[in-house]
Amino acid sequence: MDRVVVVGGGVLGLMHVVQARRRGYEVVHLEREAGARGASVRNFGLIWVSGRAPGAELDLALRARQRWEEIGTAVPGTGFRPHGSLTLAADEAELDLLKQAAAMPDASQRRFELLDPGAVREVNPALRGYCTGALLCRNDALVEPRLVPAALRSHLLAGGSGAEPAAAGSSAAASGGSAGSAGSGYTWLPGREAVEVAPGAVRDQTGTWHGGDLVVLCPGAAHTGIAGPHLAGFAVPPVRRVRLQMLQTEPLDRRLTTSLADGDSLRYYPAYDLPGRLGLAPQSPAAAAAAAQLLLVQRLDGSLTIGDTHSDEEPFPFDVDEAAYDHLRGRAEQLLGSSLPPTRLRWAGVYSQVTGDDLYHRSQVAPGVVLVTGPGGRGMTCAPAIAEETFAERPSPAVPTASKEMP
Ligand SMILES: Cc1cc2nc3c(=O)[nH]c(=O)nc-3n(C[C@H](O)[C@H](O)[C@H](O)COP(=O)(O)OP(=O)(O)OC[C@H]3O[C@@H](n4cnc5c(N)ncnc54)[C@H](O)[C@@H]3O)c2cc1C
């Protein structure tokens, strides 16, 4: 059987594994940590169609959402749910912009619907805050980011490929946590850091070479290491790193039927680059200082994931800024119209983002070796479609399968 080697246990790496298994490849999967620890487990889990730019970005997100739905059916442990989202307007200017968004030519592809305040409460009865209206996006969806990697690995170790109609392979005993292959065609090797690249192969820190017909490097925001030589030396680096602050509360006493976004999200997402954006009031100083928007997601246990802030100023602080959290909690309380449960967790995450017009970065760094990173804030959403494109544009076959004696 032909073989694919994937480096990186985040969502991009995992989706490349899924695509490779769907195509019948044997897969060896390396991750330097015990499991995914990067952006893929630190995010909201938003499969976010609403804010995507018209054209190529929306197409990519819609294809990816379809794949997520298939994966969610085959692997219920990912927590996929077609929850939809509400972007809430706090004044007339934000509402005008939402009206323009609801009238875009691709609004029906996004399944946008403009709601008045009464309809907002019908759609999401848990909302008790003031709003002038909202944009419902029925195509937005949700997964549980902290559960996705282990759930998918268990499924793959049990012989699944994320395409089965109903949970095939999900009930098997494979743990998804420790190394293993269980004869499934999928070998998961945690604690293995790829440190050297050769045509059609990578070497890990133990000296073992892993070779295949294709090697896919998905190192996330690790822009040094194996990716370093291929991302350096440009007048403008092809990718940059962005750091975000997030929090999670204790469970809320009621269920939210949708995810939520506030009017600040209209200032950042490209879908809302419409004439009405010019009419928006300036952001509050606290939001502007942290480049913050409010996104809020209810987890399966009832707790709320709330974020986020944005900074690309390196070196990044190693600590988190409480003023940003005060702002985010305050905004969330305005939207919900009630006080929030206490904060349970705070964390920061870093993603890799392309600096140019591409939606993500893919380059061939050696014969049979591709580097895929840089999807930025769309990575959790778009990963399944990005991985599909890697296989659609498969580079020329590499040298024969490597052995331990490889250079
Ligand atoms: C706070 C936050 C919120 C976000 N919210 C959303 C959201 O709701 N929706 C959305 O669509 N996107 C969101 N994003 C973006 C999304 O999370 C990322 O684009 C995506 O997770 C990137 O996945 P990845 O696999 O490339 O990177 P990562 O998840 O960082 O995974 C890379 C993995 O590679 C491993 N690795 C690195 N180098 C090596 C090596 N040499 N050898 C072996 N392993 C290696 C790392 O340990 C890591 O586990 C968010 C990001 C952040 C930070």
Token readout for 28 is 């060896």
| pLDDT tens per residue, range 124-174 | 999 999 999 999 999 999 999 999 999 999 999 999 988 877 554 444 444
Give residue 302's pLDDT.
98
Residue with CA at minimum distance from ligand 1 atom 13 = 377
**Ligand 1 neighbourhood includes 261 CB (under 6 angstroms):** no
pLDDT interval class at 178 (50, 70, 90): low
User: Which amino acid, residue 279?
Assistant: G
Residue with CA at minimum distance from ligand 1 atom 37 = 219
Residue with CA at minimum distance from ligand 1 atom 25 = 10
Percent of the chain past pLDDT 70, that is, above it, reads: 92
Compute the distance from residue 105 Cα to the ligand 1 centre, in Å. 32
Give residue 394's pLDDT.
63
CA distance 212 to 195: 16
Q: Would the pLDDT of 406 be above 80?
A: no
Residues 6+ apart with CB under 8 A from 240: 312, 352, 353, 355
In the predicted model, what is the mean pLDDT of residues 330-343? 97
| pLDDT tens per residue, range 198-225 | 999 999 999 999 999 999 999 999 999 9
- Which atom of ligand 1 lies nearest, measured to the CA of 11? 25
**Ligand 1 neighbourhood includes 222 CB (under 6 angstroms):** yes
Residue 244 host element (H or E): strand 239-249
Range of lowest pLDDT (75-84, 161-170, 270-279): 161-170
Residue with CA at minimum distance from ligand 1 atom 18 = 379
Sign, CA dihedral 394-396-401-407, equals: negative
SS3 content of the chain, % helix, strand, coil (to 5): 30, 25, 45
Q: What is the pTM of this model?
A: 0.95
- Which atom of ligand 1 lies nearest, measured to the CA of 308? 1
Token readout for 45 is 């889990």
**Ligand 1 neighbourhood includes 43 CB (under 6 angstroms):** yes
Report helix, strand or coil for 130.
coil
Give residue 162's pLDDT.
84
Q: Would the pLDDT of 402 be above 50?
A: no
Residue-wise over 76-93: b if at least 16 C-beta within 10 A, else e? ebbbbeebbbbbbbbeeb
Residue with CA at minimum distance from ligand 1 atom 49 = 36
- Answer with the residue of higher pLDDT: 181 or 287: 287
Give residue 299's pLDDT.
98
In the predicted model, what is the mean pLDDT of residues 336-350? 98
List Cα–Cα distances, 57 to 211, 350, 359, in angstroms: 33, 21, 7
**Residue 8: which region, alpha, beta or left (left: phi > 0; alpha: psi -120 to 50)?**
left
| pLDDT tens per residue, range 17-69 | 999 999 999 999 999 999 999 999 999 999 999 999 999 999 999 999 999 99
Q: Would the pLDDT of 404 be above 90?
A: no
**Ligand 1 neighbourhood includes 373 CB (under 6 angstroms):** yes
**Residue 115: which region, alpha, beta or left (left: phi > 0; alpha: psi -120 to 50)?**
beta
Give residue 163's pLDDT.
80
Token readout for 152 is 């998918």
In the predicted model, what is the mean pLDDT of residues 85-104? 98
**Ligand 1 neighbourhood includes 39 CB (under 6 angstroms):** yes
Percent of the chain past pLDDT 90, that is, above it, reads: 90
Neighbour tally for 392: CB within 10 Å: 8
Residue with CA at minimum distance from ligand 1 atom 48 = 38
**Chain-centre distance for alpha carbon 240:** 16
Residue with CA at minimum distance from ligand 1 atom 4 = 43
**Ligand 1 neighbourhood includes 79 CB (under 6 angstroms):** no
